[in-house]
Chain A
Amino acid sequence: MNDATTAANAKPWHEIVLATLKANDVKLIVYVPDRVLTKLIAALHADDFFIVFAATREEEAVGIISGAYMAGMRGAVLMQTSGFATLPNAIASLVAPSQIPALLFVSERGTLGEFNLGQALVAKTMRPVLDALAIENHTITRHDELEFIVDRSIKQAYATQAPVAFILSPLLTGGKVLAS
């Protein structure tokens, strides 16, 4: 819905995310795909600035960007809500205690029109886990706040050696609905 309702001259959300990653020198993007992220992933692949590839599991992706950070390259993981649900151990036993500024972009499934009960349940685990681990997280619902939140939070993550999760709401992305 947002793609349609934003002003004609506004960039789509995925272009803003891409530009903000680039402006902050975040080069390495590792993902396990989600339908909602399709355009963002395609645009990242098409841009030579980025090193972009899929991992087989989100934990693996977190390991890869953690290694890259320690070797001087900034990275982000893209995933859907159920992918985040596989991450508590990797966050609690690697990212958080090592103070690694992992950037986690989560396409929010399971709410605002979800049709898959499993997605809806797994989504309910996400914020409690983030809060239990005291991970900075922002649910982004508004196009006009997107760049500010992502840009400032990336800078904060690196300045404070802390991970951050960006939850991309269906209000921002349009989400995924059951084809009728």
Chain B
Amino acid sequence: MSNAGFHNLKVMNRLDLTRRMMAQLKHDEAVIAGIGNTNFDLWEAGQRPQNFYMLGSMGLAIPIALGVAIAQPQRHVVALEGDGSLLMQLGCLATVAVQASKNLTMVVWDNGLYQITGSQPTASKATADIVAIARGAGLANSAWAADEDEFERLMARALEGGGPSLIAARIDNHPGVGKTERDPVQIRVNFMRGIGASKS
């Protein structure tokens, strides 16, 4: 989709889309959610042991997900990331494209804001097109979801595991709803148990 088009997309809701994504997970897929609202809404959508809630390290949800995908090629891994967070660590898209992990899907919630810090505008509010950036980084399977139905279709296709996929969705400014557990060790240990990794 051209840079001109991405403002005409339907503005959706992060929690609703997170729930739709979760409803499609049938094979204990791992889900890595980025800082703030992204993991608050993942928490609210329903806690499961295969979810990792990243409390700090803004921008590292996709790199963490890539590491999980490399270590467990049989398991599909979904990274959920905010637009501001991704803009901080755009280079990771190029790395993901080179590694070409078939079992990795990236979802970018684009509200055009650094919402949690006071809703300052991000570069993607007016000018930067996340999907065009991803394609430019070498991620051919990158698309805007025009509406909820298309989001679900894109997600279903991504979960088939044909290659790394990126789905971007324009979302509203509704704040994240859930209240994530705040103990990083507990989050890590639960996640490791959830994806069958023992402490090595």
Contacts and interface: CB of A to CB of B under 8 A. Distances in A.
Same complex: yes
Interface residues of A, number: 36
Of A28, A65, A67, A90, the most chain B CB neighbours within 10 A belong to A67
A79 to B, nearest CB: 14
Contacts of A55: 63, 91-92, 95
Interface stretch (A11-19, A96-104, A109-117, A121-129): A96-104
Interface string A81-111: 0000000011011100111100000000000
Interface string A4-29: 00000000000000000000010010
Contact of B94 (A56, A62, A64, A100): A56
Contacts of A94: 54, 56-57, 60, 184
Interface stretch (B3-11, B68-76, B140-148): B68-76
Interface of B: 30, 32, 52, 54-60, 62-72, 75, 89, 91-92, 94-95, 98-99, 184-185, 187-188, 191-192, 195-200
A49 interface: no
Given A53-B98, A60-B63, A99-B185, A68 B68 contact: yes
Nearest to A101: B200
Given A71-B68, A93-B57, A94-B56, 13 more contacts: A51-B70, A60-B91, A66-B63, A67-B69, A68-B68, A69-B67, A71-B71, A71-B72, A71-B195, A72-B192, A92-B56, A98-B185, A98-B187
A31 to B, nearest CB: 12
Interface of A: 25, 28, 51, 53-57, 59-75, 89-90, 92-94, 97-100, 158, 161
B74 to A, nearest CB: 11
Q: Is the interface of A mostly helix, strand, loop or mixed?
A: helix
Contacts of A54: 95
Nearest to A89: B57
Contacts of B30: 71
B185 A97 contact: yes
A173 B98 CA distance: 30
Given A66-B64, A72-B200, A93 B70 contact: no
A67 B54 contact: no
20 contacts: A25-B200, A59-B89, A60-B95, A63-B57, A63-B63, A64-B70, A65-B67, A67-B66, A70-B64, A70-B67, A70-B68, A70-B191, A70-B192, A71-B70, A71-B197, A72-B71, A72-B192, A89-B57, A89-B58, A93-B56
A67 B199 contact: no
Contacts of A75: 67
B71 A68 contact: yes
Contacts of A92: 56
Q: What 10 A-B pairs come out closest when comparing CB atoms? A: A67-B67, A93-B56, A56-B91, A63-B63, A73-B71, A71-B71, A72-B197, A63-B60, A68-B67, A67-B64
